[in-house]
Chain A
Amino acid sequence: MTREEELALEGYYGEARAIAMKVVVKVAEVSGAERLVPVKHAHISGISFKNIGEEGLEFLESLASKGARFAVPTTVNPGAFDLERRVEMKVDEGVVRGQFRVLDALRRMGAKISLSCTPYLYEMISFRDHLAWSESNAVLYANSVVGAMTNRDGGPLALFEAISGRAPLSGLHLEENRVPSLLLDFSGIRSRLLESGLIGAAGLVTGRITGSYVSLVRGLDLKNEDEVKLYLAAVGATGSTGLVLIEGVSPDLKHLRFSEHELERITLDWSALTAELERYSGAGDAVAVAGCPHMSRRELAEILEWVRRHGGAKRRLVLFASRAAVEGLVLNEPNVEVYADTCMVVSDLSRYAGRSVVTDSGKAAFYLASQGYAVRLVSRGELLKYVVGEGG
């Protein structure tokens, strides 16, 4: 430990910093890390009042009162509702009050109340920056697309890492743990996959196969960062890994040294995708939901424009995006609702959209199905056709 870290642990920088440092040091010891590493940015998940409860809220408030301040720029994941549309979302008053107190405590500690799961679209992070991020899709994007280094931390750990400004130097913070051990080859179904647009399903398949390992992914055509985030979010739902090395995308591939013939090679065929789709074959009359991860401003504009050009939405379309993506956008398309600050997974979707949904998000399909929703997983193209009344 550096002298500064020792001083923090001894309480020189206050009680809150000492608690935070103690947590990080203990996690480091137990995970076998040799030392801590300073982080440049933190992203905290698990801030929904419904999940952390009155006691979690009091804990955050007591940290703030004890003078806890985030040592690095810190953003937060979506919460239980859209701060400006809680009436339409039919949120309980108790949840509203509790959630606002949670956000207030985080704000007092210095967080930017971004309420977004796509901090990588808005925060300045670069190749080989060490981060303390929770939220699996954000972790996968930071590591796999930016080449930054973060473990897939839990929400509470990321909170303490943000206060201490340190993370255990272990896992994906170390170059040697970023080397792949599997090669997942989509080449054989490359054109069919591209034509079908089944990015979410491809991500779910990848996650199931890769598990906690790092994979090199070949033969996958992802057009832009929006498709990449849709894919990676699904990987994070079925797999516990925090890094996927995608050819043509991941900067680590220019950097890491490994020999390809030592990798275990797995060739994907179409049946893997159909097996995934069969898990999410849904029910009849469903509301279309998209924006998991949160839509970028460009995506949102593209979708609204497409729907308009095709005669408007005949079926209800519910979209989720960051406040930063929604700000200033004109949203008056009939049958299309856009929510910010929250998402389909952490809000109580059934209250305002029913229990039967169709989505293009592999991650949302996975989590909503596990919460008992009837879910159909389709491509973005199919989803939009469904909304404007073309096809089933």
Chain B
Amino acid sequence: MEGKPVVEGVARGELLVTREPLAFFGGVDPLTGVVLEHGHELRGRRLSGKLLVLPHSRGSTVGSYTLLRLARRGVAPSGIIAQKGDEVLVVGCIIAGIPMMLVPSLQELYELGNGRIAELRVHRDGAVLELL
């Protein structure tokens, strides 16, 4: 699956897929990477080492710093695949060094669901997600 490159790098991990936007600030524990947001379908799940698939983020722009905090503690998602490159995700992934790509539709990934191992490769001129 091909996408638009946002932050370069290579990441491997289990797919963790949500259809719901996620508030990183307040919604994810910055020390452990566990989703805390009330009513979110990922509540209780760990983002650590996952290839996180989500439509976009929501909430406070301090969320960019939350991504940085997760990365510094080694509990960040290994890569992010989003539909919309909102400011929190773009700024957060750059300063945290999390590879990120954008795809026009997440339908295929929604159907695939959680648990598949994949590799995300983001280069200057292209980005690809490959199931392993």
A55: chain B residues within 8 A (beta carbon): 30, 65, 68-69, 72-73
Among B6, B7, B25, B69: residue with most chain A CB under 10 A: B69
Of the candidate stretches B47-55, B84-92, B103-111, the one touching chain A is B84-92
Which applies to chain A's interface (DSSP): helix, strand, loop or mixed? Answer: helix
Instruction: State A279–B28 Cα separation when bound (angstroms).
Output: 28
A51: chain B residues within 8 A (beta carbon): 25, 60, 62, 65
Determine whether B32 belongs to the interface, using a CB cutoff of 8 Å to chain A.
no
Contact of A46 among B65, B72, B73, B102 (CB under 8 A): B65
Q: Are A22 and B94 in contact (CB under 8 A)?
A: yes
Instruction: State A46–B92 Cα separation when bound (angstroms).
Output: 14
Q: Are A23 and B95 in contact (CB under 8 A)?
A: yes
Instruction: State A22–B73 Cα separation when bound (angstroms).
Output: 24
Classify chain A: how many residues form its interface, as a range: 20 to 34
Determine whether B78 belongs to the interface, using a CB cutoff of 8 Å to chain A.
no
Determine whether B64 belongs to the interface, using a CB cutoff of 8 Å to chain A.
yes
A221: chain B residues within 8 A (beta carbon): none
Contact of B62 among A23, A26, A46, A160 (CB under 8 A): A46
Determine whether B61 belongs to the interface, using a CB cutoff of 8 Å to chain A.
yes
Interface string of B59-82 (1 = CB under 8 A from A): 011101100110011000000000
Contact A156 B69, CB 8 Å, known A27-B87, A46-B61: no
Q: Are B61 and A30 in contact (CB under 8 A)?
A: no
Contact A52 B94, CB 8 Å, known A153-B87, A154-B87: no
Classify chain B: how many residues form its interface, as a range: 20 to 34
Closest to B30 in A: A53
Instruction: State A19–B94 Cα separation when bound (angstroms).
Output: 9
Closest to A53 in B: B69
Instruction: State A155–B59 Cα separation when bound (angstroms).
Output: 13
Q: Are A30 and B102 in contact (CB under 8 A)?
A: yes
Shortest Cβ distance from residue A48 to the other chain B in the assembled complex, whole angstroms: 8
Q: Are A56 and B68 in contact (CB under 8 A)?
A: yes
Contact A58 B72, CB 8 Å, known A51-B25, A52-B62, A156-B64: yes
Determine whether A122 belongs to the interface, using a CB cutoff of 8 Å to chain B.
no
Instruction: State A51–B61 Cα separation when bound (angstroms).
Output: 11
A31: chain B residues within 8 A (beta carbon): 85
Contact of A154 among B6, B61, B68 (CB under 8 A): B61
Q: Are B65 and A52 in contact (CB under 8 A)?
A: yes
Q: Are B6 and A156 in contact (CB under 8 A)?
A: no
Instruction: State A58–B72 Cα separation when bound (angstroms).
Output: 10
Shortest Cβ distance from residue B103 to the other chain A in the assembled complex, whole angstroms: 13
Q: Are A30 and B95 in contact (CB under 8 A)?
A: no
B91: chain A residues within 8 A (beta carbon): 23, 27, 154, 156-157, 160
Determine whether A134 belongs to the interface, using a CB cutoff of 8 Å to chain B.
yes
B7: chain A residues within 8 A (beta carbon): 26
Among residues 28 to 42 in chain A, which have CB atoms less than 8 Å away from a CB atom of chain B? 30-31
Contact A56 B69, CB 8 Å, known A154-B87, A154-B91, A157-B87: yes
Shortest Cβ distance from residue A272 to the other chain B in the assembled complex, whole angstroms: 26
Shortest Cβ distance from residue A316 to the other chain B in the assembled complex, whole angstroms: 29
Determine whether A59 belongs to the interface, using a CB cutoff of 8 Å to chain B.
yes
Among B62, B72, B85, B95: residue with most chain A CB under 10 A: B62
Instruction: State A27–B95 Cα separation when bound (angstroms).
Output: 13
B72: chain A residues within 8 A (beta carbon): 55, 58
Instruction: State A56–B95 Cα separation when bound (angstroms).
Output: 10
Shortest Cβ distance from residue A218 to the other chain B in the assembled complex, whole angstroms: 32
The 9 closest A-B pairs by CB, nearest first: A154-B61, A30-B85, A55-B69, A156-B64, A56-B65, A55-B72, A52-B65, A46-B62, A51-B62
A-B contact pairs, 22 of them (CB 8 A): A23-B95, A26-B90, A27-B87, A27-B90, A46-B60, A51-B62, A51-B65, A52-B65, A53-B65, A55-B65, A55-B68, A56-B69, A59-B65, A153-B61, A153-B87, A154-B60, A156-B62, A156-B64, A156-B91, A157-B64, A157-B91, A160-B91
Could you list which residues of chain A lie within 8 angstroms of chain B, going by C-beta atoms? Answer: 19, 22-23, 26-27, 30-31, 45-46, 51-56, 58-59, 134, 153-157, 160
